[in-house]
A and B are shown apart, each in its own frame.
Chain A
């Protein structure tokens, strides 16, 4: 599945998703964000059971604020519209999958 680019306008798709959601808060200029970006893309492709979404913190500061994001990348796993877990900093693929399965 492709990665959903999240804005204020389509955030309801994340909020109301029946699938477990992986949210990647990032910025284009952030090195660690660019390191995990291809990993997040791979997860989207290989695991259709998840909704994988990215939020650009420069374009969507309110969304970043609402998740108390002060480090990028920040990865958030949501289940049933609620935050299930949240982690700051780049993570290898295995650890991201552990977050989703946890």
Chain B
């Protein structure tokens, strides 16, 4: 007979490993299936200053490792594999990876989100050749060069500010006429002499040979096109939940997020959605870890009445 876990958690970020911690501490036989390494988006963040308990901040990578170790201390296990599909029709759920099929009584979906792409035809080809999604990682390669930042939210504003200290010139391209970012970013950005705002504009095209040499932007008000010569483009237009592998096995909203309220329950019994992948108001590490604990609370209730 195939082995059946009490709980399979898909994704090893803060939500996933908190679920694993609570589940394994409660005596559930728990497996985390993680694509790459612990921490999720958090591991890509430098310092995290808004996770309580760390008076000098904590780096996201370290926090991710600690959360993994904390869960594994109570017996949770981790399998490194990419989940390619899922079958939730029967009471015993099936989680498919590229190499095997895993079975569980309950499933927690904690796959988080990835940076949103612009969706321009040659974007994929130019990743690493002038197209970037992480200013903190790649900004330093553009010392004394010209870059374009796309977006107007907090992360775009933070990226533009960070880059303005490294590069010769930053163009901030935003589709509205004012930043959506919180006020603390406005003043320093306006003061930065090498930041030029390109309002009401969207990137239509990457101008590239072997790598990016510029962008074509369209003004959405007067429809005028403008070419901006640049060496690199940093895209910061939000995130995309990772839900395509689900193939609509659970209810998903029009933006791709799994529909679940604060109980983390999806429309399928025994299946929970935690962290950034769920419809919610505030996507933060603290709200993600809370989700993980809540999911296990309801999963325990569900398992108490479980019969094959």
**What residues make up the interface of A, taking CB atoms closer than 8 Å to B?**
29-36, 38-39, 68-72, 74, 86-94
Contact = CB atoms under 8 A, between A and B. Distances in A.
Interface stretch (B122-130, B154-162, B171-179, B281-289): B122-130
Interface in B40-84: 43-46, 60-61, 80-82
Contacts of B232: 70
Nearest to B141: A70
B137 interface: yes
Nearest to B138: A71
Nearest to B37: A35
B60 A94 contact: no
A72 B82 contact: no
A15 to B, nearest CB: 22
B98 interface: yes
A38 B128 contact: no
Contact of A93 (B43, B46, B80): B80
Nearest to A58: B140
A88 B137 contact: no
A94 to B, nearest CB: 7
Among the interface residues B36, B82, B211, which one has the most CB atoms of the partner chain A within 10 A? B36
Contacts of A70: 128-130, 132, 138, 141-142, 211, 232
A69 B140 CA distance: 11
A63 to B, nearest CB: 13
B103 interface: no
The 9 residue pairs across chains A and B that have the minimum distance between CB atoms: A88-B128, A31-B44, A71-B128, A35-B37, A70-B141, A92-B36, A34-B61, A71-B138, A31-B43
> Size class of B's contact patch?
20 to 34
B35 A71 contact: no
A39 B45 CA distance: 19
Nearest to A37: B37
B80 A92 contact: yes
B72 to A, nearest CB: 15
Interface of B: 35-37, 39, 43-46, 60-61, 80-82, 98, 127-130, 132, 134, 136-138, 141-142, 211, 232
Contact of B44 (A32, A38, A86, A88): A32
Nearest to A88: B128
Nearest to A30: B137
Nearest to B127: A88
B43 A35 contact: yes
A71 to B, nearest CB: 4
B37 A38 contact: yes
Given A32-B137, A72-B137, A94 B128 contact: no
B127 A31 contact: no
A92 B128 contact: no
Contacts of A89: 127-128
Contact of B36 (A33, A68, A72, A90): A90
A91 B127 CA distance: 13
22 contacts: A29-B46, A31-B44, A31-B45, A31-B46, A31-B61, A32-B44, A32-B134, A35-B44, A39-B36, A39-B37, A69-B141, A70-B138, A70-B142, A70-B232, A71-B138, A74-B128, A87-B128, A89-B127, A89-B128, A92-B82, A93-B80, A94-B98
Nearest to B36: A92
Nearest to A90: B36
B122 to A, nearest CB: 15
Among the interface residues A33, A36, A39, A88, which one has the most CB atoms of the partner chain B within 10 A? A88
Given A71-B127, A88-B128, A31 B36 contact: no
Contacts of B44: 31-32, 35
